[in-house]
Structure 1
Amino acid sequence: MSDLHDVIPAYTPPDFSIPKLANAPVAQVAPAPADGVVPANFHATSNHPEYVHLGEGRWLLAPESRMDSVLLLRGGELEVVEPRRVRAGDPVVVGRSENGEEGIFIHIHGFHAISTAMPDKFSFRNRGTRETPFSRSYDELYKVLRHDRDEGYIVWVLGPAVAFDSDSRKAMQGLIENGYCHALCAGNALAVHDLEAARFGTGLGQDIYTQSFQPLGHYNHLDIINEVRQLGGISTAIEKLRLTSGIMFACERTRVPYVLAGSIRDDGPLPEVIADTYQAQDAMRVHARKATTVIAVATQLHSIAFGNMVPSYQVQPDGRVRPVFFYIVDMTEFCADKLANRGSAQAEAILTNAQDFIVNLWNNLKLL
């Protein structure tokens, strides 16, 4: 186990003694006019730490702020709620300013060390790209995962590419079985092709090691869907078909919860896939609220969706505030840029092949 201070940066709260905050008004609320409708001038949350002023210098930190929700203030307690979940009469915090003018303060520098270096006015490589060196990112991620394996909640958001390669599939299985995954979020395809590999040794009909196409292999993923549906679900299929490897096998074996969210293009889908978008969102949010580290690999839509659910911080049981780490792993800058543009500013990109990333991670973590 890593020492907390070696891995998790300390949080510096706002200085509420400065005049603009010491003299800030009390935050105002207004009743929701109807179910699923919020009052005019409602305050929309970010994923940064957000405080509301209750009066007499008492500022209350939202326990888990996240993108595009609202704050309900009841009896000195704050709750972050999606607008669709608001009920008529709920006390919704109102105000569009963010620097205390209306008793609302968004704190964006709580985890940032103050730099004494004087950077040049011009420098190369100010933005992460595929040419960026990622050695330090890997080393920090190893430390974070070793710490959070025992004292955090690690959520993986995976695309099917991880299951298409023999080595990365084995590596992901190893990570799950050794405690480096507390929850898995994915779509139908990840589960289908992982089970296809367990049953037939293929991914979309292609051998997951040699890459050779198998006779009638394009039927394999459809056959495994049919078999799983016939048997009633993934757990039963793993038992009845005597499947002994892979990501879904590891989740079932170690009782790691998984959420499979459906999409329009799904084949089947598998029985566990949640077809209703909002039910899937609710199921994913259960894990987003617990997450201390998120690793999203080779899945743009799921990465962006999950990123919008994840706060940039978490309040620990002892009252300490720690960051929520979010790593986005992809071969292009697009997904990382999109996450940043959607408000997930803490997302750190590691731009590489997804399969290489998983194997490299496991080769380093399995040593301890």
Structure 2
Amino acid sequence: MFLFLLQPHYIYHGHSPHMEVVESCEGVYKLNMYLKAKRDYVSAGIPGRFLLAVIGPDVSDVGSVASTIMYAFYLDETLKSNQFCTVPVINMKREDVDSRADLKWLFDSCHIDMSSLIFINEIDLYYYDLFGSLKLVLLNCDKLPSKQEALKEALVEIFHCRKSDTSYSWVDSVIVGQDASCCTVIAEKFALTSPEILAGQGFSRLLLAGILLDTENLSSAQCTLKDKYMATLLLNGAGRYGCNGLYQILYRMHDVPNLRVGEILRKEFKKWTTLGKPDSRGSRLPASNIGMSSIGVEVAQLLSHDSTSTQEIMHFQQLEKLCLLIVVSGYYDSQNNFKREILISAESAEFMRNLLQYLNSYAAQLPLKVKHQPGLRGEMRVFEIDKVTSRRTIEKLLDEYSVVSK
């Protein structure tokens, strides 16, 4: 079975197409059979078994989606238990994939049957939890997203988190990730248990794509020697594109000329709630919502997307009831240098002043270089930041600010 795919320079430069023939592989065939069987079993109600759901963060980037699918498949292959129905649950709505050209292209190019995947809005995890038949594996993050926090008692494993002292003390299996990409660790596990499956181009491409995007094409400060080694081992997955070509195809699919600003912000959006600290009477102050969007274009390009871009950003913030919205931009400039910027949108100009005063005291962790954008109001600012600054660093600083500011 073969699929014709466009060469990378056609996809992101618009030249005449050249075709690459990508052969379907045994590993993807087994993966699709597994996905279909588990979806059918879930549709039947999973009689007589526990539902072992593998779930990642609600910022469903390529690396998180790929690792969720592959780790669930790995567990199913190695556990061989009739007690569990092990399924990957993609932590986004199926309809949101329509705005994710990178994911759609990757699934198509790897021959992954999207109809067999289970998305978060297609399964009622609370139903299984109510009857005591839910077991959760949390992947690639330290805490459950706020929408799933009520399911925390069902956690049995935390895989590839950033710190060992999680807030879920009862979970025995906590695996701290030393590498930049969760896909690196999963690929290593397959290499130890069934190395032949990594020889297939489609199977290895799914893992390789996750590694390349998680490590910014193996160039981020967090990228380890193991990330680079596993990318080399999975090189067949890149095909004629090569690693750089595959990365550029997926990265440049963040270019979103046909989407509205709100849709761009929602592509990779994470929202969390910070609890207010107790006041003098022992009551808690109101909780606050913080949101973070990741985009693959320059902030100036987002602001000039259409004549109402600034108003649409504010409308998105109000719709999500956010006291603070951070838009993290990662892009390549005209000289092919990687740059990072952030747009900060606060609920008021006073909030912005207090936040910037706080962030300036942590300039060693998050140095801010002002980028002047004409027409912005006092509650919205743009800064260039260090290219190696991670979203987790920004998130941690915002969490700390939400505590000290209340």
- Greater fraction helix: 2
Q: Which has the larger radius of gyration?
A: 1
Q: Does TM-score exceed 0.5, indicating one fold?
A: no
Superposition TM-score, scaled by structure 1 size: 0.27
Superposition TM-score, scaled by structure 2 size: 0.25
